Each structure stands twice: as C-alpha cells, then as structure tokens.
C-alpha cells in the first residue's frame, strides 16, 4: 500500500494543506486565512489544529502505519537541518524561529500526536512538487521560477533540492540585472524582482503607455485609472492585439530571459519551469524569454534549452512538502 503524508504551504494570507498519497496525489485539501495577528506561537497552534484534523480524518480510511510525515513550506530562509525559519516576509513578528520543533511540540502537547515534521522554503517545495508530480518530472536538473507579487525560485540538481551553504540557494528575485538602475526592492537596486515582480511590471507598463505615440487599449480596461491597472489587463489587451501591451510583455519576457541566462551560464542548467500567477500570460512571456536566452548565450550553450510552464499551479507547494516526506 502507498505511503501518504500531509503537505502544508504557509503563506502570508493563507495556509494551504493537503493529504497526499504518494501514488494517487492529493486526496483532501483545505485552505484557510493565516492568523498572522497571533504571531509565531498562534500560527503554530493553528497549524497544529489543521494537521491534527487532516491526520485523524485520513486515518479513518488510510492505514496510519503508512504515514510518512508532515512537510511544511514557509517563506523566508530555512535551515533544513535545524528546522529554523528566519525572517519570513509577510509574517509580522517573526524573526528567527524554530518552527519544526515548536510544531512537533504543539502537536504532542495539544493534540496528543507524535508526528515527524520536515521544513523547507516554500519556493523550494514548489520546485520539488513540480519535479516529482509536475512539469519537471522528466528533468534531471532545472530551475523553477515563480512570478507573482515577487519573484522566487528553487533549484533541483540530480533530482534533489539544492539548498546551498546557508539554505538560501535559488533566490533568483535578488539577482542583480542593473546595479545602477532605477528600480529598488528590499533596499537593493536593480534586482530581477524589482523589474518583473508585479509592481515592477506595472511600473514598466505605466512608463511605456505614457511614452507611446499610439493609444493603448489598456487605459480603457483599467478605467483610465492606473491605480486599478493589473497584469490581467495587460494580458487581455495583448491577446486582443494591443501593440503597446505586446511590447510591455516582450520587455518583461526579455528581462526574465536575461535572469535565466545568468543561471544557465553559471550552473549549466538548461531547463526552466515557470510558474506563479504572472506566468498565466503564457507565450506573451515565454516566447521573448526563450528568444532572449538564445540571443544572450553562446551557440554552444543552446543545446537542451527548454522553458516550460509549471503544471501544478497553487498546489505545487503542498505536493512538494508531502514529497519531501516520501524521501
């Protein structure tokens, strides 16, 4: 009989949790608002309750002896050996916190459950989920990039997550594209995220619309109010043939391509899985990104280049967290 595990994806606004069978995938899943106001201790209690409910419910129909553990993905730097989470963004009041041990203690004391817990960075686990169940299944090595409010990443080498010396490998959003550029993220000038995170994309859009000699359909879609402008407006206008919007996405895709070039030439990674909400723009981003990859690399480095969309959507983190338990 197949192993099963509980996969948890902790975000600043929501916690997603699932019972995952190693062979059959997600059996049960839940989503609830993250109790950020209660701080680290309150979220540990919240997680403990969610895990206990899922475990007890699943144990009625699945053999408990085949339970592999609880995997947790969280934003921020993670020491996977010590199970410590450091300075997670969007979780107020968190600094350096032993999340794994505190969660195991809470499960034992409040829920009378002794369950093994493993912890990793959320972007890493999204990459691992795609490696085991999604778009990266056929790839030995690849980089996953998540495009959304921010830009995250996870590296899979030889079918295993690569963490680096201090657990922060794969933070492609902090790659510098222009050290003297106008964009700033987290106090650092010219990062990839400052250019093609959501705010960066909208800044590019506003500038290109204002500088264009031709009118753009985007202005009507957002009610002539830039405060209402969203990537979905840009996507819709581009698909309708709006030249300014097409040029905006070409710029965004090219910037992504430059970031991927830097990874490719440094690590000889030729496979890239792109996910996150912004990636829904599809070929509007993918085509210029791949073209930029080819333009900015030696012909001898073109062999094996692939850029593919992620397949698991917002379930990738849960899949990856569970897969971590399966070993």
**CATH number of the CATH domain containing 18:** 3.30.420.40
Let me know whether 52 and 148 are in one domain. Answer: no
Residues 66 and 205 in one domain: no
Instruction: Kindly state whether residues 13 and 36 are assigned to the same domain.
Output: yes
Same domain for 12 and 104, yes or no, is: yes
Query: Helical H runs in the chain?
Result: 39-59, 99-111, 122-133, 192-196, 198-211, 218-221, 231-239, 243-267, 283-295, 316-326
| Beta pairing partners, 72 | 8, 119
Q: Does residue 194 share a domain with residue 105?
A: no
Residue 93 confidence class, pLDDT cut points 50, 70, 90:
confident
Same domain? For 148 and 274 the reply is: yes
Residues 170 and 42 in one domain: no
227 sits in which H/E element = none
State the Cα–Cα distance between residues 25 and 21, nearest whole angstrom.
5
Is the per-residue pLDDT at 66 higher than 80?
Answer: yes
Mean pLDDT value of segment 311-315: 95
Q: What is the pLDDT of residue 214?
A: 86
The answer to whether residues 95 and 227 belong to one domain is no
Backbone angles phi, psi at 114, to 5 degrees: -105, 90
CA distance 19 to 3: 11
Please check whether residues 205 and 260 belong to one and the same domain: yes
Same domain, 51 and 69: yes
Can you give the residue range of the structural domain that contains 244?
137-310
Report the number of distinct structural domains present in the chain: 2
Same domain, 254 and 301: yes
Same domain? 102 vs 145: no
Please state, rounded to an integer, the average pLDDT across all residues of the chain: 95
Taking the model in full, what pTM does it have?
0.92
């Amino acid at each position: 009989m197949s192993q099963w595990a509980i996969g948890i994806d902790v975000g600043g606004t929501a916690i997603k949790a699932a019972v995952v069978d190693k062979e059959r995938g997600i059996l049960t899943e839940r989503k609830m608002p993250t109790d950020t106001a209660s701080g680290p201790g309150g979220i540990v209690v919240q997680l403990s309750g969610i895990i206990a409910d899922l475990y007890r419910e699943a144990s009625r129909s699945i053999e408990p002896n085949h339970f592999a553990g609880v995997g947790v993905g969280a934003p921020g730097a993670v020491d996977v050996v010590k199970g410590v989470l450091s300075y997670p963004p969007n979780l107020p009041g968190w600094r350096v916190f032993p999340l794994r041990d505190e969660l195991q203690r809470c499960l034992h004391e409040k829920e009378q459950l002794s369950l093994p817990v493993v912890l990793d960075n959320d972007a890493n686990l999204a990459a691992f989920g795609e490696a085991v169940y999604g778009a990266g299944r056929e790839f030995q090595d690849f980089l996953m990039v998540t495009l959304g409010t921010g830009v995250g990443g996870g590296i899979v080498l030889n079918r295993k997550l690569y963490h680096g010396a201090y657990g922060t490998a794969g933070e492609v959003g902090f790659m510098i594209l222009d050290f003297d550029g106008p964009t700033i993220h987290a106090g650092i000038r010219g990062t990839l995220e400052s250019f093609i995170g959501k705010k960066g994309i909208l800044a590019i859009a506003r500038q290109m619309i204002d500088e264009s000699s031709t009118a753009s359909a985007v202005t009507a879609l957002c009610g002539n109010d830039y405060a209402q402008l969203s990537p979905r407006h840009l996507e819709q206008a581009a698909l309708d043939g709006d030249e300014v919007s097409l040029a905006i996405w070409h710029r965004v895709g090219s910037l992504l391509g430059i970031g991927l070039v830097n990874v490719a030439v440094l690590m000889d990674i030729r496979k890239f899985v792109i996910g996150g909400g912004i990636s829904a723009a599809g070929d509007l981003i993918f085509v210029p990104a791949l073209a930029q990859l080819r333009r900015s690399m030696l012909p001898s480095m073109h062999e094996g280049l692939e850029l593919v969309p992620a397949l698991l959507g917002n379930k990738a983190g849960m899949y990856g967290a569970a897969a971590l338990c399966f070993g």
